[in-house]
Amino acid sequence: MERKTADEYPQELLDLFHEYQHGDMDRREFMNGIGKFAVGGLTVAAIFESLKPNYAWAQTIKPDDPEIKVGYETVQSPEGNGSIKGYLARPAKGKKFPSVLVIHENRGLNPYIEDVARRLAKAGFMAFAPDGLTSVGGYPGDDQKGGQLFRQVDGRKMTEDFVAAARWLKARPDSTGKLGAVGFCFGGGMVNQLAVRLGKDLNAGVPFYGNQAGIADVPKIQAPLMFQYAGNDQRINANIAAYEAALKEHNKKFESFIYEGKQHGFHNDTTPRYDAEAAKLAWDRTIEFFKKNLK
Q: Write the DSSP assignment of 95-151 as a string of letters.
A: S-EEEEEEE--TT-S-HHHHHHHHHHHHTT-EEEEE-TTGGGTS--S-HHHHHHHHT
The per-residue pLDDT for 156 is 97
**CA distances for 260 relative to 6, 74, 88, 239, 251, angstroms:** 13, 39, 33, 17, 27
| Mean pLDDT to the nearest integer, 29-36 | 86
What's the number of domains the chain is made of?
2
> What's the pLDDT score for residue 209?
98
The answer to whether residues 14 and 89 belong to one domain is: no
42 and 61 in a single domain? The answer is: no
Is the per-residue pLDDT at 273 higher than 80? Answer: yes
266/284 Cα distance (integer angstroms): 14
203 belongs to a structural domain: yes
The larger pLDDT score, comparing residue 131 to residue 3, is at: 131
Give the end-to-end CA distance of the chain in Å, rounded to a whole number.
40
| Distance of alpha carbon 268 from alpha carbon 94, whole angstroms | 30
**Are residues 127 and 35 part of one domain?**
no
Sign of CA dihedral 267, 231, 239, 272: negative
Helix 155-171 vs helix 186-198: crossing angle, to nearest 10: 60
Residues 131 and 149 in one domain: yes
Higher pLDDT, 123 or 3: 123
What is the domain extent for residue 41? 6-51
Task: Give the tens place of pLDDT for each residue, 65-107.
Answer: 999 999 999 999 999 999 999 999 999 999 999 999 999 999 9
Q: Can you give the pLDDT at residue 28?
A: 87
Q: What is the mean pLDDT of the chain?
A: 94
Residues 112 and 125 in one domain: yes
For residue 1, the model assigns a pLDDT of 59
**Same domain flag for 145 and 227:** yes
